[in-house]
Amino acid sequence: MKKTCIVMVVAAFSLLFGLTCPGLCFQEQARGDNLIAIGKDVEVEVGTVAELAVALGGNVVVQGCVRGSVVAVAGAVYLGHASLVEGDIVCIGGPVVQEEGARVQGEITVVDTESMGSLANRLRDISIPSMEVPERIFSALRWLAATGFILVALAAAAVIPAAIGAVSCEVEHHTLRTLAMGFLGTALTVPVTLLLVATVVGILLIPLFALCIGCAFLIGYIAVAQLIGKRISIAVNWPGRPMVLETLVGTLVLFVIGFVPVAGFLVKAAAAFMGFGGTFGAMTARWRRSA
């Protein structure tokens, strides 16, 4: 039970980091009267009619009419004074704000999940006349996040060494396969999320789905860091070090590499994808052995 709780905490950290990453966003897609956006806001302007308005990782602003449902995941729903929503409103991770005169004919469901918000993004959205948030605040937040991630990585290596070792072994022996699986798995998360959005029950499962994906990414990344630390310890003739120490060394190496422009980002992205694919590879290997 204790290990399960710690893994859930690790997954929550991963989900928070994933939502604060500005690179993982997609452009809005308009399919007829259906408005769907991932990583940005959706707006139904005054005098326009939409069949569906969905934002994943963004807000939904309704000034006109929506004949169907309005869905916001990790965002908020804003209803203008002349807005009309004929269907239901489902908001996960944010509030539903209604101006006087806004009309909703369906039901309003709000699921409050604080971990789905991004503190960094909220700070960047602050607009105060004649005031600027000092850059050192963002720098301090980045260092705080890095320190927290290192502590989480060390805790994972200490509490679930078997899982970290299994994923590390999978990445070490099947590097290209795990990288390909990581890309494929990441690409599949978008259509799976859109399928979940199709039903109210599926929408309520989105936080659990995001938690599982975040957990897989984080455990995989930590496993890659442990593998890097292991290789370094062998290279300097210092093999057989504790997994926690190897994880610390590998995590610090990836952190330093991150300061290299472009190349650092590519290396860390490759580590994340390989770890993600390695997690699924280790899981399927275990299932094959138990079958």
- The Cα 126–Cα 48 span in angstroms is 29
Q: With respect to residue 124, please indicate whether it lies within any of the assigned structural domains.
A: no
- The Cα 147–Cα 43 span in angstroms is 38
Residues 276 and 147 in one domain: yes
pLDDT of 129 over the 50 cut: no
pLDDT of residue 178: 92
* Residue 274 near residue 178 (C-beta atoms within 8 A): yes
Residues 186 and 281 in one domain: yes
Q: With respect to residue 61, please indicate whether it lies within any of the assigned structural domains.
A: yes
Type of residue numbered 138: F
**Of 265, 203, 194, 253, residue with least CA distance to 224:** 253
Q: With respect to residue 129, please indicate whether it lies within any of the assigned structural domains.
A: no
Token representation of residue 239:
């093999």
pLDDT of residue 138: 58
pLDDT of 14 over the 90 cut: no
Domain closes at, from 92, 119, 146: 119
Domain closes at, from 96, 119, 142: 119
Least confident of 14-23, 60-69, 81-90, 248-257: 14-23
Residues 233 and 93 in one domain: no
Q: Give the phi and the psi of residue 146 in degrees, each rounded to 5.
A: -65, -40
Q: Which domain holds residue 40?
A: 32-119
Query: Which of 116-125, 128-137, 146-155 reaches the highest mean pLDDT?
Result: 146-155
Residues 106 and 230 in one domain: no
**80-117 pLDDT, tens digit each:** 999 999 988 877 778 899 999 999 998 887 765 444 34
pLDDT of 121 over the 50 cut: no
Q: What is the largest CA-CA distance in the chain?
A: 73
Count of beta carbons in the 10 Å neighbourhood of residue 80: 19
Residues 9 and 64 in one domain: no
- Specify the number of domains making up the chain: 2
Q: With respect to residue 222, please indicate whether it lies within any of the assigned structural domains.
A: yes
Domain closes at, from 73, 94, 119: 119
Q: How far is CA 210 from CA 60, 105, 288, in A?
A: 20, 30, 25
Q: With respect to residue 127, please indicate whether it lies within any of the assigned structural domains.
A: no
- The Cα 12–Cα 25 span in angstroms is 19
Residues 211 and 149 in one domain: yes
Q: With respect to residue 125, please indicate whether it lies within any of the assigned structural domains.
A: no
Q: With respect to residue 126, please indicate whether it lies within any of the assigned structural domains.
A: no
- The Cα 227–Cα 127 span in angstroms is 43
**224-243 pLDDT, tens digit each:** 999 999 998 888 887 777 88
Residues 217 and 82 in one domain: no
